[in-house]
Amino acid sequence: MGFTRETDHGTPPALVTGRNVTLTIDGEQVTLPEGTSIMRAASLSGGSIPKLCATDNVESFGSCRLCLVEVEGRAGYPASCTTPVAEGMVVRTQTERLKQLRRGVMELYISDHPLDCLTCAANGDCELQDQAGAVGLRDVRYGYDGATNMGQPKDQSNPYFDFDPSKCIVCSRCVRACDEVQGTFALTIEGMGFNSKIAASQNDSFLASDCVSCGACVQACPTASLIEKKVVETGTPDRAVVTTCAYCGVGCTFRAEMRGQELVRMVPWKDGKANRGHSCVKGRFAWGYAQHQERILSPMIRASVSEPWREVSWDEAIAHTASEFRRIQDKYGRLAVGGITSSRCTNEETFLVQKLIRQGFGNNNVDTCARVCHSPTGYGLKTTFGTSAGTQDFDSVEQADVILVIGANPTDAHPVFGSRMKQRLRPKNGKAGAKLIVIDPRRIDLVKSPHIAAEHHLPLRPGTNVALLTAMAHVVATEKLYDEAFIRTRCDWDEFQDWADFVSEASRSPEAIEPLTGVRAADLRAAARLYATGGNAAIYYGLGVTEHSQGSSTVMAIANLAMATGNIGREGVGVNPLRGQNNVQGACDMGSFPHEFSGYRHVSDAAVRETFEAAWGVTLDSEPGLRIPNMLDAATDGSFKGLFIQGEDILQSDPNTHHVAAGLAAMECVVVQDLFLNETANYAHVFLPGSTFLEKDGTFTNAERRIQMVRKVMAPLNGYGDWEVVQLVANAMGLGWNYTHPSQIMDEIAALTPTFAGVHYDRLEAEGSLQWPANDAAPDGTPTMHIDGFVRGKGKFVVTDYVPTDEKTGPRFPLLLTTGRILSHYNVGAQTRRTANTAWHPEDRLEIHPLDAENRGIKEGDWVSLKSRAGETTLRALITERVAPGVVYTTFHHPDTQANVITTDYSDWATNCPEYKVTAVQVGLSNGPSDWQEDYAEQARQSRRIMTVEAAE
Amino acid sequence: MTRVFISRDMASVALGADDVARAFADAGCEVVRTGSRGLFSIEPLVEIETAEGRIGYGPATPADVAAILDGSHPNRLGDIAALPFFAKQQRFTFARCGIVDPLSLADYAAHGGWIGLDIARAAEPQAVVDAVKASGLRGRGGAGFPTGIKWQTVLDAPNSPKYIVCNADEGDSGTFADRMLMEGDPYCLIEGMAIAAHAVGASHGYIYIRSEYPFAIDTMRDAIALSAGRIAPFTLEVRAGAGAYVCGEETALLDSIEGKRGQVRAKPPLPALAGLFGKPTVINNVLSLAAVPFILSEGADAYANVGFGRSRGTMPVQLAGNVKHGGLFEVGFGITLGELVNDIGGGTASGRPVRAAQVGGPLGAYFPPSMFDLPFDYEAFTQAGGLIGHAGITIFDDRVDMAHMARFAMEFCAAESCGKCTPCRIGSTRGVEIVDRIIAARETEPARTATQEGTLGKALYSRAPDRIDVSLGAQTTLLRDLCDTMKYGSLCALGGFTPYPVLSALDHFPEDFGAPAPALEAAE
């Protein structure tokens, strides 16, 4: 297929009213929903009206004046983009008079536009060029000796795109995309009339401005004025393949626009149901890591981690891996080995890794990175609702009247959904915006940003989530704001009453817990009332909820609130975990936990086990296996000796780095499959090169349970897709697999997993995506869960008593550290640090309140030491009131900092999810990197040595 | 103590009224500052209260106090209302202006104020809208859209809240009626807005006044504060503009009130359905709203009985430019342009022959004396290739260069264009360039520069500087084509009406563009 842009109907679809009108366009009778623009109507019925300022992801604007049409009975020439269709209307879009007017307008455009089409980066992909052709402009009679906007300098400050004002036609599409789609309001028009110019912030460079580089403006630009640097370098693409982003759990779909085997750009796919044509700086631009020079393409092995790596053939690496695992099992027993699946890999790959372990290793020692992020979500929602997933699709937010965000920072960590949320928070078309409640220790961007202001921000002390949510429940119960009818039909009334009695105790009132949480009781009461009575109320939460010693309790407290107020089981409400990684939902679904098969079925369930045993031809262990922290404990104890790790960097991402390092060091065979020599690979004996999401077929499942296709757009540089490598290992261990395409793996998943029974590649190809459960009971998938009843039957109220964490501040460690992400980086940064995203965030910084900084003599940018009971590191300070006094914050994107040296072994009581979000620390001035950081850097350097192979000749 | 009436209107003050007022106060008189009567050749005007009524003297200076007080001053005008300039008027809207103390609630009530509001509030909203419809009142800002129909749309709109917005961004050169009314009779506008609010169900209103009118802004703010109790529960506030002409365009004005860059919005949606903050909004000119109290108090018929064709009621015409008797002249529609310019205005101030009159502000057409029999009527002016606009008439004598005036129209548009739509944004600048070429070529047809006949010239095609045809004929054709694109392609009246002065200059005064003068009309 050749390259064509997606069809642009010019204006967004009309708001659904259910009423249609019939009109005549150029002699053809068409029937369309009322409110549709004439332009869209013409486009949908196969015509095309010339246009430049109209594009269907922003509201119509009516400025270019190319789309004028004639409407019988109306004076003048209305713009078809801003004129809605009407019953009986007779429209003509092509008359001699219209041609004359359009040519007149185009002649003006071209009188102030360079005529360097042949050498222009947008040559062949330029709407101005197309429309000049379409209106038949042949001459510009104005000459080129008059006023001009040409010849202005380019702004090339952004690492991914250029702004060339000389090519700008002032259509405002970029400004409108920034406002309406992204919601950053970074762009504006400076000046008036002929001198109107696009400006970023107050005439700053794009990089220095408020621009977040989401790419919406570049996508919207009809000319070469805003264009990807990669297109400037490479030329226009010649084909496009739709695939799914491999960054966060939003699951944006993109058109990977290719020139041969070279990726030219990623353009968000308008039909993608998760992102609706929008993107963020990571998915849109930060994919250069796939070709980064540090990527390892050859397998490597070594006998000990003190030796340099030795490149070997795939055959040798695979055979060595298989023999090592067999050797260890022979020597130390069946349970001495295990594996970790990756939330970065596809469902199919994840399924194969856990199958390798259960079928090949003969045990259940499999775990996944969800252990350290959303395992409490799985536990909490399964206990209360009956299924381990969010209840809504993203579209649901459009029906919300009240949005409660707790422990999540969507504009940084889930930026595309964050923008969607902001769209709903702003008033639109005369409809008031939704009201927002933010519960977070930090003043995240959502609390106050252009045209957005939270109704309530409850800046609680880290670690007091359960106390705060219980106090909200106290208000709901004591002020009788609960939905009795919902509770009586959908839940167990006696359980509710037990719960209500518990939360109603005076000791759980907002006033009583104010000293604990630091949140003013009046604010908390007002927020609780708003949530309970403000209409459709939806909760969105992130790792600020789960990564605590009471993570599972917090999830259940959230579920209790939603059930008590009847905010579950329809559009616009629900409990929505914002999943961190692209496929963390899928990895959990695929049976990556030591106690569960795919579809969250316990390994002790004999009936379930039998279906797998029948399919795989082995006897399966009925005992749950080891979780990641247990594996590491067992390793330091000497009983666990071999680990297969696919696509995860536990040394950097897991808490208490010293303990992780000790566990890895105690093993005899650590296999790391990854793109890069990550931190964990410093302790590995076998390195199997991984493939990127661009190099293989498969599926990812996003935070709304949406299963979407990942498509191979180029051949794997390392030679194999990750699923193929796992199959090679399995077969070397004698398992006899013979998958020739990931679709066959999905067929096996569907056959063995009731919630996935209807999921097959042909349907995904045809429908774009499916939301599980997708089976005979829900043939079209399930956008909203628990509509007629909870999956578990009756919704279960669980009493959640606040138990303070054992991690406490004191004289030695008076501050509380909490950690998180930043927009431009992703998790441990393995990918984003290898892209130009470092322009925005070259290092981890410690956010500290001016008061705490002043007490310690710390100035902006000073090196400071950050000490906890677990360890010490150094980094530079960023003084900001975004954090409250007593709280400090940092990100964990850079291995030089190793924020997890600081974090402790405390973890969730139910799931062992680490308590990343609360660490008692002290901060003081420092001269530079700590001894540990220097030792670590040296160890990493030693460990990353690769023996150069002698030239054969 | 002698009561003396002296205008505090900005125009009177500019002519020295403050000094005159101070002199009378120093002489022990009680000075009442009023609005202006509206004839600037007699300003500063002093009216002395006597047993026979007010006796006017003007123009007056501080040195004239004694002579005026003893009745010996030569500039004695007698009863101002009896002067021909005033006797010929039909002052429906400006009845009180120049007579009352603008901020005196007692004066306002004594001169028929609040009657219209009381009648309106005693009636159903629909009845008020019906009365405005029956009066035939049309938008006095220039578009001439029937006011009652606009109100009906807002009354019927389901959304709420609703707003009343008064457009007092009087930016047309040569117009001053809005300012005079706001400075001279602010309660009249407030009453009109309160009636509109009752008619459509609005509870809050805005008056958007250009920043160049500091007196009007102060007067309206004071008047709003003083009359708050009278118009409650309706509330009002003044918003000051920031100097952009385009903010007089109603949708740009709404954006400006919302705190945005003043850019024209595409219609639909109509402001009546989705206006200020996306809510149903009545947006009317000062004169439209100020006409409403009369319609309610005197009855729709009293208003509609005056007028011409579909233009009913009166229009406060403003005479300016090179004119002998400049000022405000409120009269029923149908009076001819010639009567206004020659009889009322008294011809040019310079005494030279009138060559052109521009009607409707900087975007209005220029008419030669041969067309002065045009009746003042929306339809007649449209048919003649012009517009009434805000009824400002600017008069020029025979020294005017109409090519320069055409250039001025384009230049004005270029300076004031918001930059949203292409025909106005680029077209106005190109228009200036074209007229400059015409002016340059008027005297001597330009010699074509030696063309690069070689391959390069061909290859550069329209890019080659020497490719464009700068002859008078080609540039005049291009100017007409550009006017066509701007007139029919522009988003709002700024770009859309700029062709009126340009084309009328081209059509009626071709000799100024290097073409032969039009043949004289066949003598009747």
Domains identified in chain B, total number = 4
Assigned token pair, A750: 């569907």
Q: What CATH number should be reported for the domain holding residue B159?
A: 3.40.50.11540
B240 and B135 within one domain: yes
B189 and B222 within one domain: yes
Q: Which of B485, B487, B498 to mutate to test the interface with A (most CBs of A within 10 A)?
A: B485
Please, which pLDDT band fits residue A828 given cuts at 50, 70 and 90? confident
Domain, as residue range, for B328: 307-400
Given a cut of 50, whether residue A290 has pLDDT beyond it is yes
- Taking the Cβ of residue B325 and every Cβ of chain A, the question of whether any pair is shorter than 8 Å is answered with no
Q: Which of A65, A109, A188 to mutate to test the interface with B (most CBs of B within 10 A)?
A: A65
Answer whether residue B137 is part of any domain. Answer: yes
Residue A2's pLDDT is what? 54
Assigned token pair, A614: 């029948």
State the maximum Cα–Cα separation within chain A, in Å, rounded to a whole number: 91
* B132 DSSP β-pair partners: none
Answer whether residue B322 is part of any domain. Answer: yes
Mutual angle of helices B286-298 and B125-135, in 10-degree steps: 100
Answer whether residue B95 is part of any domain. Answer: no
B440 and B453 within one domain: yes
B324 and B379 within one domain: yes
Residue A835, C-beta contacts closer than 8 angstroms, at least 6 positions apart: A285, A286, A287, A288, A289
Answer whether residue B97 is part of any domain. Answer: no
Nearest CA in chain A to B267: A82
The burial of B275, by beta-carbon neighbours within 10 Å (0-12 exposed, 13-18 middle, 19 or more buried), is given as: buried
B282 and B145 within one domain: yes
Tell me which of B57, B87, B117 is where a domain ends.
B87
Chain A environment of B415 (Cβ under 8 Å) = 193
Assigned token pair, A667: 């093993």
Given a cut of 50, whether residue A357 has pLDDT beyond it is yes
Given a cut of 60, whether residue A748 has pLDDT beyond it is yes
Helices (H), B55-185: 65-69, 84-87, 105-110, 115-122, 125-135, 147-156, 177-184
- Taking the Cβ of residue B471 and every Cβ of chain A, the question of whether any pair is shorter than 8 Å is answered with no
B259 and B113 within one domain: yes
**Within 10 A of A167 (CB to CB), how many other CB atoms are there?**
26
**Stretch B42-52: mean pLDDT:** 96
Assigned token pair, A289: 């890591």
B115 and B195 within one domain: yes
B329 and B213 within one domain: no
Q: In this predicted model, what pLDDT tens digit does every residue of A95-139 receive, in sequence order?
A: 999 999 999 999 999 999 998 999 999 999 999 999 999 999 988
For residue B74, cis peptide bond before it (omega within 30 degrees of 0): no
Answer whether residue B311 is part of any domain. Answer: yes
- Taking the Cβ of residue A60 and every Cβ of chain B, the question of whether any pair is shorter than 8 Å is answered with yes
Q: Which of B415, B463, B491 sits opposite A193 (nearest CB)?
A: B415
Contact criterion met (CB < 8 Å) for B420 and A105: no
Q: How far is B427 from chain A (nearest CA, A)?
A: 6
Q: Which domains does chain A have, with CATH numbers?
A: 20-135 (3.10.20.740), 161-291 (3.30.70.20), 308-373+583-771 (3.40.50.740), 375-577 (3.40.228.10), 815-942 (2.40.40.20)
Residue A729's pLDDT is what? 97
Contact criterion met (CB < 8 Å) for B489 and A139: no
Answer whether residue B94 is part of any domain. Answer: no
Q: How far does Cα B408 stand from its chain's mean position? A: 19
Q: Which of A60, A139, A143 sits opposite B465 (nearest CB)?
A: A143
B155 and B17 within one domain: no
- Taking the Cβ of residue A601 and every Cβ of chain B, the question of whether any pair is shorter than 8 Å is answered with no
Range 180-199 of A in CB contact (< 8 A) with B: 188-189, 191-196
B131 and B233 within one domain: yes
Q: What is the DSSP letter of A68?
A: B
CA distance A811 to A439: 27
**Stretch A677-705: mean pLDDT:** 96
Residue A893's pLDDT is what? 87
Helix, strand, coil proportions of chain A in percent (round to 5)?
35, 20, 45
Q: How far does Cα B437 stand from its chain's mean position? A: 32
Residue A329's pLDDT is what? 97
Q: In this predicted model, what pLDDT tens digit does every residue of A234-262 receive, in sequence order?
A: 999 999 999 999 999 999 999 999 999 99
Tell me which of B42, B61, B87 is where a domain ends.
B87
Rg (CA), chain A: 29
Contact criterion met (CB < 8 Å) for B488 and A115: no
Residue B520's pLDDT is what? 56
CA distance B510 to B62: 49
Phi, psi dihedral angles at A370 (to 5 degrees): -60, -20
Q: Which of A142, A171, A176, A202 to mutate to test the interface with B (most CBs of B within 10 A)?
A: A142
Contact criterion met (CB < 8 Å) for A194 and B488: no
B501 and B370 within one domain: no
Pair A533, A567: CB distance under 8 Å: no
Range 157-196 of B in CB contact (< 8 A) with A: 159
Nearest CA in chain A to B278: A430
Tell me which of B87, B117, B138 is where a domain ends.
B87
**Stretch B445-465: mean pLDDT:** 61
B274 and B154 within one domain: yes
CA distance B491 to B477: 23
Please, which pLDDT band fits residue B450 given cuts at 50, 70 and 90? low
**Stretch A64-91: mean pLDDT:** 96
Helices (H), A784-863: 850-855
**Stretch A70-80: mean pLDDT:** 95
Residue B455's pLDDT is what? 66
DSSP string, A845-889: EEEE-HHHHHHTT--TT-EEEEEESS-EEEEEEEE-TTSPTTEEE
Q: What CATH number should be reported for the domain holding residue B491?
A: 1.20.1440.230
Given a cut of 90, whether residue A896 has pLDDT beyond it is no
Answer whether residue B32 is part of any domain. Answer: yes
Given a cut of 70, whether residue B362 has pLDDT beyond it is yes
Query: How many residues appear in chain A?
Result: 953
- Taking the Cβ of residue B490 and every Cβ of chain A, the question of whether any pair is shorter than 8 Å is answered with yes
CA distance B133 to B481: 39
Answer whether residue B157 is part of any domain. Answer: yes
For residue A198, which amino acid is it? I
Residue A156's pLDDT is what? 97
- Taking the Cβ of residue A99 and every Cβ of chain B, the question of whether any pair is shorter than 8 Å is answered with no
Q: In this predicted model, what pLDDT tens digit does every residue of B297-344 receive, in sequence order?
A: 999 999 999 999 999 999 999 999 999 999 999 999 999 999 999 999
Phi, psi dihedral angles at A242 (to 5 degrees): -80, 130
Residue A939's pLDDT is what? 87
Q: What CATH number should be reported for the domain holding residue B395?
A: 3.10.20.600
Given a cut of 90, whether residue A657 has pLDDT beyond it is no
Q: 């997708």: which residue's tokens?
A: A774
Contact criterion met (CB < 8 Å) for B468 and A427: no
Q: 């080659």: which residue's tokens?
A: B464
Q: In this predicted model, what pLDDT tens digit does every residue of B149-204 receive, in sequence order?
A: 999 999 999 989 999 999 999 999 899 999 999 999 999 999 999 999 999 999 99
Contact criterion met (CB < 8 Å) for A144 and B488: no
Strands (E), B388-464: 392-397
Closest to A574 (Cα-Cα) out of A583, A565, A582: A565
CA distance B223 to B208: 15
Contact criterion met (CB < 8 Å) for B267 and A82: yes
- Taking the Cβ of residue A506 and every Cβ of chain B, the question of whether any pair is shorter than 8 Å is answered with no
Assigned token pair, A705: 């349970």
* B39 DSSP β-pair partners: B327
Q: What CATH number should be reported for the domain holding residue B15?
A: 3.40.30.10
Residue A172's pLDDT is what? 97
Nearest CA in chain A to B466: A143
Q: In this predicted model, what pLDDT tens digit does every residue of A770-815 receive, in sequence order?
A: 999 999 999 999 999 999 999 999 999 999 999 988 888 889 999 9
- Taking the Cβ of residue A79 and every Cβ of chain B, the question of whether any pair is shorter than 8 Å is answered with yes
**Within 10 A of A830 (CB to CB), how many other CB atoms are there?**
25
Chain A environment of B474 (Cβ under 8 Å) = 141
Pair A418, A451: CB distance under 8 Å: no
Rg (CA), chain B: 25
Q: Which of B261, B429, B491 sits opposite A194 (nearest CB)?
A: B429
Mean pLDDT value across chain A: 94
Residue A935's pLDDT is what? 87
- Taking the Cβ of residue A95 and every Cβ of chain B, the question of whether any pair is shorter than 8 Å is answered with no
**Sign of the C-alpha dihedral, residues A599, A603, A607, A609?**
positive
Closest to A580 (Cα-Cα) out of A839, A246, A181: A246
**Stretch A625-640: mean pLDDT:** 95
